[in-house]
Every structure is written in C-alpha cells, then in structure tokens.
Amino acid sequence: MSERLEQLPAYEPKRLLRLTNARIVSQVFFFVAFLLAVWATWTSRLGGYPVSRLLEMDPLVMVATALSTGYVYRFLGWGLLILALTLVLGRVFCNWICPYGTLHQFVGWLFNTRKPADRWASNRYRKIYFFKYAILTVFLIMALMGALQIGLLDPICLMYRTFATAVAPAFDGAVGTAGERLQAGGVWLDSLKFAPGVERRVFVGSFWIGLVLFVLVGMNVVIPRFFCRVLCPLGALLGVSSRFALFRINRDVHKCTDCNMCMARCEGASDPQGQLRLSECFVCFNCIDDCPEDALSYSMFAQDAKQVVPAPDFGKRKMVFAGLAGLFALPLIKNNGVNTDENYSADLIRPPGSVEEEEFLERCIKCDQCINACPTNVLQPATFAEAGVEGLWTPVMNFNIGHCQLKCTLCSEVCPTGAIRKITVEEKMGKGRYSEQGPIRLGTAFYDLGRCLPHAREIPCVVCEEVCPVSPKAIQTKDVEVKDVFGNIVVLNKPFIVPDLCIGCGICQTECPVTDSRAVYVTPVGESRSTERRLLLNNRSSSA
Amino acid sequence: MSKKDKPVQRPDYVKAPLSRRQFGTRIAAVLGIGGGAAYLAGAPAGWPLSMKDPTGLRSMPVHTPVQLGDYRVAKAAGVPDVVVARGGVDAETRLRMALEPLGGITHFVQPGEIVLVKPNVAFDRSPNLGATSQPELLSVLVRMLLVDARVQEVRIADNPIESPADCFAKSGIRRAVEQAGGRVYLPDSNAFKVLHTPGAKLIEQWPIFHRPLTNVDKVIGVAPVKDHNLCHASMGMKNWYGLLGGRRNQFHQDIHEIVSDLSLMMRPTLTILDGSQILMKNGPTGGDPSDVKPGDAIVCGVDPVALDAWAFEHLLERGQYYPRYLALAEQKGSGEVAWTGRVREVRA
C-alpha cells in the first residue's frame, strides 16, 4: 500500500491548454456568432451575411423538410456537415456548437446549488431520457405526412424564435430606457446603433414564447441539461447517428478504480463510469478532465468493446408506440378545420414570397427569422386564432402594427427552408420579366364604410389614398361637396378600392386614423400565391 | 387547561432583557420612521419633500415643451425673395446660380455654425420616382456648406412614413450626404420632444423630431415638388411635416391648417425646391417613372409662401388655383402669396 502511494505522481494543476478549455472557446464562439446573427438580421446590417446559417446547418431541419417536401432547399445541405461530424466524432454538436446547449450548460453551472456529493447523482442516467427519441419519432412521422412541427422543439429554431421575439425586444427596451436616462443627463446614446430602427418592436404572444424559454432554462435547476437530455429532437437525431461514430470516450478498466468522479460533471448523463451510453454522450470531455487515474480517453483505436452501449435506450415497442402516436396526432392537427381553403382566418396574411398554404406548412420551421428581419414589425408569430394548432408561431402579417414595404424582400432572403421563397424586388413588384404574372398580392383591402371618416362622418381624411404605394393608386376617391351637419360646405374625397390594383401591402390599414378597428383593412382573399383563395378572375387594366 | 396545553418551561429559557434605554430607542425609531413616512405621505403638496398627490394630477408626467428659434437671417435691400435658376450643366452650377442673387451661401450661414438640412425622405423609393429629395442636390449643398461656408456640422434628418433606415438607404440620400461629409440623424424613440408653437392651431403642443434641432443655428429645407392627393401640392412648407411625431395622420382631417401651422412652426433660413424630378400625378407617393416630369429648375428663397406659390404655378403647372394653405400661411405671417415682382429668373 505504502509502495503504491509513493508511486503516485505529485499533484499537478490542470493545464490551461486542455480539451475542456478548447470546448469552452468553441462554445463561446458559436454563442457569440448566434447573437451576432440575430443582431445582424436587420435591414441596415444585413449586408449579405449568412444570418440563418445555424438553422441551415441543423441536420434535423434538413431531414425533416426533406421528408415533408421531398427536396433540400438552398443552403439546407449544410446539415450534412453536422451529420458527418457526428458520424466521425459523436455528438460534438451538442456541447461544442449548439448555442442552446451552451445556454443550458451555463445556466446549470451558474445556478448549481448541489453539494459535490449530490452532483454525480444528478448526472446518473434516468429512464426518462429516452423521451427525446419518442419526440423525434413523432415529429419525423408527422413530417413525412406533411405536418412539419420540429420547429416547436428543435433547439436552433426555438432559440432563434425566442431571441427574435422575446429577448431582442427586451434588449431594445433596455437600450431605449438607458438612452432616455442618459439623454436626461445630456448624453446622447444612439440606440439605433444597438437596437433596430423602429421605435419599439412588439410581438404578439411573445409572452408564451418567452415563458417556454424561462421554464426550459429553469428546469436545469431540477435536472441538469433537462432540455438536452429529455426533449431535444435534434439531440435524438444526432444520438441515433453517433452510434456509428469512430471516436468515443473509452474507459480503461485496468486503470479505473470505480471512484465515479467522472460523473460529477458529465453533461449527457452517459454513464462514463460503466458502459458508456454512446448515444447520450455530448463529448464534453469533463470526464477525462476529472479522472484522477487517467483511465478515460477519447480514441478511435484500442476501444474496449464491452464498455459501451452504442444504441439509444429506445426499444422496438417504444418506437412503434411513438410512431402510432405521431400517426394519430397528425389528423388531429390537420383536421382542426381553421386553416382550410374553405375556412381560413381573415387575419392569415402570409409574407410576400410565401408558397401556397399547404406547402408553406410543409416548410415553415417557426424559426421566426423573417419576423426578426422585418423592418416595419408587420410580421408577427401566429397564434392559434390565425393559423390553428399547426401554424402556431408561423409568420403572419398584422397591418395594425406595420405594413409590407414595397421594395423589401428581407423575409424571403433569410428564410432557411423556402416557406418564403427567395424573391427579388422585380418579382415582388411584377416588373420586367415578371410583368406577365403581375405583382405579388398579399390580399385585398376593404372599407368599413360605417367607420370611414369621409364616408360616414363627413370629415375629410384619405390618409389611405396618400400612402397607397402603387401607381396608378389602388385607392382612389370620389370627390363630393356636401353641406355637413353644422351647415359648412366641405369637400369629401370618398375613398374606394380598385381591387385589380391592390397588392395588399396594408399601409392603408397601418396609417388609418380609426385606430382600434380600422376603417380600411386587408384580408388575405385575392392573395396571388393561391388559386383557391383568389378573388378576381381577371385583373382589369386600362390597356386591356 | 389540560395538562397537554400547558406551556413548557424549557430549562435553558432566559428572559430577554428590555432596558428602559432599549425601550426608548425602539419607540423613538418607530416614531422617527413612522413620522417621517407620515410626513412624506401626508404633508401638503407645496411643502418640501412632500409626496402627497391629493387629486391624482400631481403624479401625471410633465412635458416641458421646447421652443424652436427663428432661423431666418436679415435680407439686404434690393435682393429678390425668390430666385429661379434654369439650365446649367449640373445641380452645383444651378444651385450656385440660384444662390448668387441672394448673396451666396455665406450670406445665410457663418463659419462654425451647425446647420440642419431637411430633405423629404418620406418613402422607400428610388430617386427617379420623384417622391423624395434628389441625392445629388443634397450632396452639392452639404459640400457647399462645409467647404464654402465652413460650418461645423451639417445634419440631415427626416422622420419617414416607412422604415427610416430603408428610406434613407434606397432614396440614395444616406450615401450621398455621408460621402459629402454630412451626418444623418434617424428617429428613435428618444429623439422626440414636445414642441410649443405659439399661434399654431393644431400643433400648439406636439411631439417633434427634436434631436437634430438641438443647438442648431440654421435650418435649410430641401424639398421635391410633388402632386399631393389631398392638399394638391407638397412643396417647401409641407416638407416640415416630416419633423412631426405622434399620430400625425390625423392632420389629414384639416390638411391646409396643418401646412400653414408648419410654416409657423419652422421659420427656415432658406428653402430650396428641386425642380429636376417633378411628380406631376399620383402623389405624394408616385411609384411609376411616367408620373415624373424631368425639369431643369432650382428655386431658392426666403419667403416660403411665395416660393410654393410660384412653384405651384410654374413647376406643377396648375395655374393660380392655389391650395388654401398658402392663404392661411399668409394670414399667419409666414410670407406673401403674391410673388409678382419678387421673383428673379436666371438662366445659364
């Protein structure tokens, strides 16, 4: 015994250049890259930067949209990069790249109140960790049938959505308030340098989106990396792939003293102290860091075949059950009846370039990058009221808040999946080689004649005509001279819509002074993306 | 009392001492804190430190309105009120020709001053559509102010209807004026202050895009000449609409009053009308190049009313059926509609 003690090397402090520190650098890099991407998704900063690249690298987005549409859109092939990386190195994405994983790890580390003795117990594998594979199965089965719901829980989609609609406005608000305070003290903080160039962005229903983040991040206090271990469908997909990984953590049973120190900081709860659960391992390297006997290594050769469980803890029964659950959930979602061509919400106005509704729902991953990019704040995450269960948090236009700017195609620029197809200004306006098919119409404007000031109240107004951006104007006026109730002669320019010219941009509704329930409003009927929702058979024009 | 309910006397129980001094200190503390709080909450509003709000009105936010100065400069005798320059190879020659009879740019601004140039950048439109000010003229003016007049800073500001960043970018104005050395001010929520305009009917108190006006010495309006669906023409005076904040679209209910109010709110050093791309119809947005008539005139002047009246007649070619706001502006002392004898035309 004493002989062995003498053989022990003297205590050496941990080296600075070690794998876990390299990992932290990588995590910080990708987290900052993500923040920059969200920040740069704005009209004055979006100089061709690949702001949606993290979404396009997401293999679950690639696989699920390939299942639902049969094709791989634009840059989605980038997903193969992560998939290939996983097939060689294991789930490195989860602990080296994924910004959502970084957020969870950081919060879990910051609010870790466990005593050291309890830490390893919190990182023991639990049965419930199979659940993410069930979620993945349900989502993929539904995607195959044409209902794309991965965006609800895919970490990258979830994080983009939350940061665009809940975190960014909080940041803008903080910059704005700081600006106000500083301005009172005579200092001018140009908040437009930090925050977007609209006075204040609002996002309908962002409370619920923010609450999801709150709950999921808060769960780290109960179970470390709760989201990653239990819910993450992308982690599940990578877990399934990682069983083929060349490299993995290997335990040298001759050196190991079964001290369980490796479990103290194990991120994936992958049992490095026993048979490694390969599909759970995030390759965080904490176990190697913590092993006092140098018994753990990350290697391709000399792996101990006995000390590994390659496949996920997801038996055939569970898989069949999850698949059936997906199959039964599908008609419930699809037959909800609020978003069919016969019965759809008058508020379901999709951004320009959107493909037809059925195809749209096969593509939209609810990442809300379009909503983040929109310079007028008109794009909003849909609630159940507009788009039903299936379309929750997909983009809709709310013309009370903003309007669709004529020469702007930013939402189509940043859409990673082609739910909003990439269009040009020329195509949007129906000019040049698109003059045959005409402009992209989002809907048609209507008047509420009982609320319109010149029509119902004998008061001049017609802001709507002034701002109508098409030429010739789709809002024109009948000018009448009337004697009002007080006996004054007033000239009323009574506005009316020329539906053939209206593109449904909604600026008339945005600028209408009857602010609560607008006297002029746009509904989606007549949108050019759909023949089923068309209004006019022919568009009249003076030349025809 | 049953045996069970009897209070247990623990053996280690020690009676906490409360001396007279301790008792006194505590009472004093209660009286001090409580009395102080009672004073803050209950003292009449005029007393120092009082927080009492007996009617609920004292706690309402108070906006101390700002006031704008009079940016006009004195005019020498024999100088015309309005000068029209036509022809000339480029905007620079034309602008110099138009300013020369007025005394040149150095008559209006002094070295070291801060100058605000207010273009019309209301819409997200390219310059050839005539809905916004021409970037070329702005860049010439900015350079002239910085180089010829040696001013300290030239600011360019507008509060557009559409996204400010997009409007300034796609009208070409941001690029042009920043290359010339000007500084663009975009509106954000902190940039507005309530403005008091004595005598104005609709905007006696109204939020205005004030940051670019802070400490400014001279103000120059540079406006396109445009058709306007409701007030017939949008020219030099209507251009100041772009400084307003708030729910300004209500002003369409009394458009002539607001335009004349604007002429009262802003007494500019100089107004420049750009007659190079005249929006003849479908205004104020335009949208089709066929709505625009190219021209070769630049109109400068110190009487905004005469300036607009002349341009209405000669550039928009609408005859003498002047919009009503011109007469209203004259009533408010902003200038005179009758331009005959006060306009000088120069030709290259």
**DSSP calls for A159-213:** HHHHIIIIIHHHHHHHHHHHHHHHHHTT----HHHHS-SSS----TTHHHHHHHH
B162 CB neighbours in chain A (<8 A) are 376, 403, 405, 507
- CA-nearest residue to B250 within chain A is A513
The C-alpha of A99 sits at a distance from chain B's nearest C-alpha, in angstroms, of 30
CB contact under 8 A, A44 and B169: yes
- Shortest Cα–Cα distance, A179 to chain B (Å): 7
Would you call A466 and B285 a contact, using CB atoms and an 8 Å cutoff? yes
Q: Which of A192, A376, A462 sits opposite B230 (nearest CB)?
A: A462
From CA B346, how far away is CA A71, in angstroms rounded? 66
Contact B230 A453 (CB under 8 A): no
CA nearest to B171 within chain A: A407
Whether pTM exceeds 0.90: no
Nearest-CA distance from B237 to chain A in Å?
A: 17
Q: At what angle do helices A131-144 and A233-242 cross, to 10 degrees?
A: 100
- Report how far residue A293's alpha carbon sits from residue A252's, in angstroms, rounded to the nearest whole number: 10
Closest chain A residue by Cα to residue B287? A471
Burial B236-275 (b: 16+ CB within 10 A, else e): bbbbbbbbbbeebbebbbebbbbbbbbbbbbbbbbbbbbb
**Partners of residue B291 in chain A, C-beta under 8 Å:** 471
Beta bridge partners of A309: A277
State how far the Cα of B325 lies from the Cα of A153, in Å rounded to an integer: 59
A180 touches chain B (CB under 8 A): yes
Q: Does this complex have an ipTM over 0.85? A: no
Question: How close A407 gets to chain B, by Cα (Å)?
Answer: 7
- Judged by a CB distance cut-off of 8 A, whether residue A176 touches chain B is yes
Contact criterion met (CB below 8 Å) for B219 and B268: yes
Q: Does A491 touch chain B (CB under 8 A)?
A: no
Answer whether the bond into residue A351 is a cis peptide, omega within 30°. no
Is the four-CA dihedral A20, A22, A26, A31 of positive or negative sign?
A: positive
Q: List the 320-359 stretch of A: residues with Cβ below 8 A of B.
A: none
Residue B245 identity: G
What is chain A's pLDDT, residue by residue, as a tens digit (544 residues)?
Answer: 455 556 666 667 778 888 999 999 999 999 999 999 999 998 888 888 999 999 999 999 999 999 999 999 999 999 999 999 999 999 999 999 999 999 999 999 999 888 877 888 999 999 999 999 999 999 999 999 989 999 999 999 999 999 999 999 888 888 888 887 887 787 777 777 777 756 678 999 999 999 999 999 999 999 999 999 999 999 999 999 998 899 999 999 999 999 999 999 999 999 999 999 999 999 999 999 999 999 999 999 888 999 999 999 999 999 999 999 999 999 999 888 888 888 999 999 999 999 999 999 999 999 999 999 999 999 999 999 999 999 999 999 999 999 999 999 999 999 999 999 999 999 999 999 999 889 999 999 999 999 999 999 899 999 999 999 998 999 999 999 999 899 999 989 999 999 999 999 999 999 999 999 999 999 999 999 998 888 888 777 765 4
Would you call A466 an interface residue with chain B, using a CB distance cutoff of 8 Å?
yes
Predicted pLDDT of residue A544: 42
Q: Is A308 on the interface with B (CB under 8 A)?
A: no
Q: Which two tokens stand for residue B96?
A: 């110099």
Dihedral of alpha carbons A164, A165, A167, A168, sign:
positive
Q: What is the mean pLDDT of residues B290-301?
A: 93
Q: Which residues on A lie below 8 Å from B287 (Cβ)?
A: 406, 469-471
pLDDT in tens, B211-221: 999 999 999 99
pLDDT of A179: 80
For residues A338 and A392, the answer to whether their CB atoms sit within 8 Å is no
- Identity of the residue in B186, B230, B287 whose CB atom sits nearest the CB atom of A469: B287
The answer to whether B127 and B171 are in contact (CB under 8 A) is yes
* Chain B touched by A405 (CB under 8 Å): yes
B345 touches B84 (CB < 8 A): yes
Q: B120, B184, B252: best mutation site toward chain A, by most A Cβ within 10 Å? A: B252
Amino acid code (one letter) for A302? A
On chain B, the residues whose CB falls within 8 A of the CB of A514 are: none
pLDDT at A195: 72
Where does the pLDDT of residue B228 fall: very low under 50, low under 70, confident under 90, or very high at 90 and above?
A: very high
Q: What residues in B contact A42, CB-CB < 8 Å?
A: 165
Q: Is A103 left (phi over 0), alpha (psi -120 to 50) or beta?
A: alpha
Q: Tell me whether residues B124 and A405 touch, CB distance under 8 A.
A: yes
In this complex, do B162 and A197 lie within 8 Å of one another by their Cβ atoms?
Answer: no
**What integer pLDDT is reported at residue B348 of this predicted model?**
80
- What are B270-285's pLDDT values in tens digits? 999 999 999 999 989 9
Mutate to test the interface with A, among B120, B123, B189 (most CBs of A within 10 A): B189
3-state SS, residue B272: strand
Q: Given an 8 Å threshold on Cβ–Cβ distance, is B252 in contact with A466? A: yes
CA distance linking residue A102 with residue A225, whole number of Å: 10
Alpha-carbon distance A272 to A249, whole Å?
8
DSSP structural state of residue A496: E
Angle, helix A99-110 to helix A155-162, in steps of 10 degrees: 70
Residues B190, A477: C-beta atoms closer than 8 Å: no
Closest residue in A to B170 (Cα) is A407
Q: How far apart are CA B245 and CA B209, in angstroms?
A: 6
A487, two tokens: 């006996």
Q: Is B182 helix (H, G, I), strand (E, B) or coil?
A: coil
Which among A535, A534, A504, A544 is positioned nearest to A520, based on CA atoms? A504
SS3 of A256-324: CCCCCHHHCCCCCCCCCCCCEEHHHCCCCCHHHHHCCCCCEEEECCCCCHHHEECCCCCCHHHHHHHHH
Q: How far is B319 from chain A (nearest CA, A)?
A: 20
**CB A195 to CB B287 under 8 A?**
no
Residue among A364, A361, A393, A354 nearest A162 (CA): A393
Nearest to A408 among B166, B188, B253 (CB): B166
- Decide if A543 touches B, using CB distance below 8 A: no
Q: Is the peptide bond before A472 cis (omega within 30 degrees of 0)?
A: yes
The values of phi and psi at residue A426, to 5°, are -60, -45
- Say what the pLDDT of residue B9 is: 66
Select from B276, B282, B260 the least CA-distant residue to B330: B260
Q: Which residues of A154-191 are buried (b: 16+ CB within 10 A; e: fewer)?
A: bbbbbbbbbbbbbbbbebbeebbeebeeebeeeeebeb
Instruction: Say yes or no for a CB contact (<8 Å) between B230 and A465.
Output: yes
Task: Report yes or no: B346 and B86 within 8 Å, Cβ to Cβ.
Answer: yes
Span B26-52, average pLDDT: 93
Pairwise CB contact (< 8 Å): B124 & A200:
no
Three-class secondary structure of residue B331 per DSSP: helix
Q: Identify whether the C-beta of residue A504 lies closer than 8 Å to the C-beta of residue A492.
A: no
Question: Which chain B positions have a beta carbon within 8 Å of A375's beta carbon?
Answer: 163, 165-166
A463 touches chain B (CB under 8 A): yes
Q: Which residues of B touch A (CB under 8 A)?
A: 123-126, 161-166, 169-170, 186-190, 211, 228-230, 247, 249-250, 252-255, 282, 284-288, 291
Please give the pLDDT value at position A44: 85
Looking only at the bridges linking them, the beta strands covering B114-119 and B218-228 are parallel
b vs e for A47-82, b when ≥16 Cβ sit within 10 Å of the residue's Cβ?
eeeebbebbbbbbbbbbbbbbbbeebbebbebbeeb
With tokens 């189509």, the residue in question is A412
Does A484 contact B at CB distance below 8 Å? no
> What one-letter code names the amino acid at A342?
E
Cβ-defined contact of B229 to A466 (cutoff 8 Å):
yes
Interface check for A179 against chain B (CB to CB < 8 A): the answer is: yes
A462 part of contact set with chain B, CB < 8 Å = yes
- CA gap A200, A129 in Å, rounded: 41
| CB pair distance less than 8 Å for B282 and A471 | yes
Domains and CATH numbers, chain B: 19-60 (no CATH), 82-347 (3.40.50.11440)
For residue B123, which residues of chain A lie inside 8 Å, CB to CB? 469
Q: How far apart are CA A7 and CA A498, in angstroms?
A: 92
How many pairs of residues across A and B have Cβ atoms under 8 Å apart? 110
Using the beta-carbon criterion (under 8 Å), do B170 and A407 form an inter-chain contact? yes
> In chain A, which residue's Cα lies nearest the Cα of B126?
A407
Strand partners, A250: A297
DSSP state letter for A239: H
With beta carbons under 8 A apart, name residues in chain B contacting A44: 165, 169
Q: Which residues in chain A are contacts of B170 at CB distance < 8 A?
A: 407
User: What is the Cα–Cα distance from B348 to B342, expressed in whole angstroms?
Assistant: 20
Please state, in angstroms and rounded to a whole number, the distance separating the CA atoms of residues A520 and A522. Answer: 7
- B190 to A453: CB separation less than 8 angstroms, yes or no: no
A200 interfacial to chain B (CB closer than 8 Å): yes
Dist. CA B142–CA B233, nearest whole Å: 26
